[in-house]
Amino acid sequence: MAARREKILIVDDEQSIRGLLRQVLAGTRYRCEEAGNAEEAVKKLEKNSFSLVLLDIKMPGRSGLDLLPEIKSSFPDTAVIMATAVGDTDVAVQCMKHGAYDFITKPFILDDVVISVERALEKRRLEIENRAYREHLEQMVEERTLALREAMGKIKLASLDTIHRLARAAEYRDDDTGSHIERIGRYSAAIARQMGWKDGEVEDMLYAAPMHDVGKIAVPDRILLKTGSLDADEWEIMKTHTIIGAEILQGSDAKFIQLAEVIALTHHEKWDGGGYPRGLRAREIPLEGRIVAVADVFDALTSVRPYKEPFSLGESLDIVREGEGHFDPEVLDAFFAVEDEIRSIREWYKDEEESRLRRMVAELQYANR
């Protein structure tokens, strides 16, 4: 395919000069149009796309000097060569500083005009190609970044999903809906946010807190599902779920699993030192453990357990409020400051509780056929 001939606009108030330039440039190589003043030039530039403008500096009305900035801003892909009288070379140099590609001096040496036009068009072509290449690179970087972000998002989702399933497996025997672990994550995140944790830390809490009881996987059914109270030996075994949970989670590079390890170990410690496994007191207990302690007790109170019926929401809140000796007072303050959110989390995950009850009834009906 033959290359399209490039279009040149010749702007000069003298018809004879326009004619001369046209004669030199037109023909097989370039298509030329003419304008006798700045206004006419603008009209033609708006109508057609020109590769190059040969622009006379001195014209009646708006000069080439006035027109140059407008061409550079409105038609940045158009090259401009200034045409000047011998005495105007200083002005022409100024024009080059303002974006003109070159200048030619009257009276013209026609070979020089052709060379100047060729050079300007070549420079323009390289600039356009460079820009296109740069834009292509930028777009590629953007696409790759997006793809990487999506891949990271998928990996994160997959690992969170796996972790939730691990937590759920550990809790499955006494909570087959998984709603307890969902609620613990959300209660704990709400308290942490209220206590001034940053967004990323709150998100870590949301994912870490559900793993608090992962060590229950090692507690035998006869203890975990016992309806009566535990004897001393059974209780000692039950307590080991904290240490075993921390052992399961230890050694991870992921920040939220490191957080989960601390939570698993410390969520049964009590503010007054009466908790387990280490009997830590007050601020010896890591804050994340103190937060999940409140969330866990509140959720246990509102839930059915093998050994108890649930308390109402109001009763549960009262019991937590009265458990001051067990809990960090600042965590309790934060918990009650977000009481509305806590209530709506409980409400939101109630459906799962109901569906679980419906499923239990269906299973019983099936067993009794």
Nearer to Fe ion, 182 or 213 (CB): 213
- Smallest gap from Cβ 267 to Fe ion, in A, equals 6
Smallest separation, CB 215 to Fe ion (Å): 8
Residues 260 and 251: their CA atoms lie apart, in Å, by 11
Q: Cβ of 310: how many Cβ atoms within 10 Å?
A: 15
Instruction: Quickly list DSSP for 309-348.
Output: PPPPHHHHHHHHHH-TTTS-HHHHHHHHHTHHHHHHHHHH
Select 175 or 213, whichever has its Cβ closest to Fe ion: 213
- Our finding on whether 261 is near Fe ion (CB under 5 A) is no
Nearer to Fe ion, 213 or 299 (CB): 213
Q: Which is nearer to Fe ion, 18 or 183 (CB)?
A: 183
Provide the minimum distance between the beta carbon of 242 and Fe ion in the complex, in angstroms, as a whole number: 7
State the pairing for strand pair 52-56/102-106. unpaired
Six token digits for residue 56: 């006379």
201 vs 213, beta carbon nearer Fe ion? 213
Q: Does 213 bind Fe ion (CB under 5 A)?
A: yes
Minimum gap (Å) between residue 191 Cβ and Fe ion: 17
Tokens, residue 283 = 């601020």
Q: Should residue 174 be labelled a site residue for Fe ion when binding is judged by CB under 5 A? A: no
Taking the complex as a whole, the smallest distance from the CB of residue 322 to Fe ion amounts, in Å, to: 21
Structure tokens at 368: 């009794």
CA distances, 310 to each of 3, 182, 342, 346 (Å): 83, 18, 16, 13
Give CA–CA dist 181/213, Å, rounded.
9
Alpha carbon of 327 to those of 93, 274, 324: distances in Å? 79, 11, 5
Contact segment (CB under 5 A) with Fe ion among 80-88, 136-144, 206-214, 284-292 equals: 206-214
| Residue span binding Fe ion (CB under 5 A) among the ranges 45-53, 92-100, 205-213, 344-352 | 205-213
> In the complex, which residue's CB is closest to Fe ion?
213
Q: What is the DSSP letter of 26?
A: B
| # residues contacting Fe ion (CB under 5 A) | 1
Least Å from the CB of residue 368 to Fe ion:
34
Which residues would be at the binding site for Fe ion (CB under 5 A)? 213
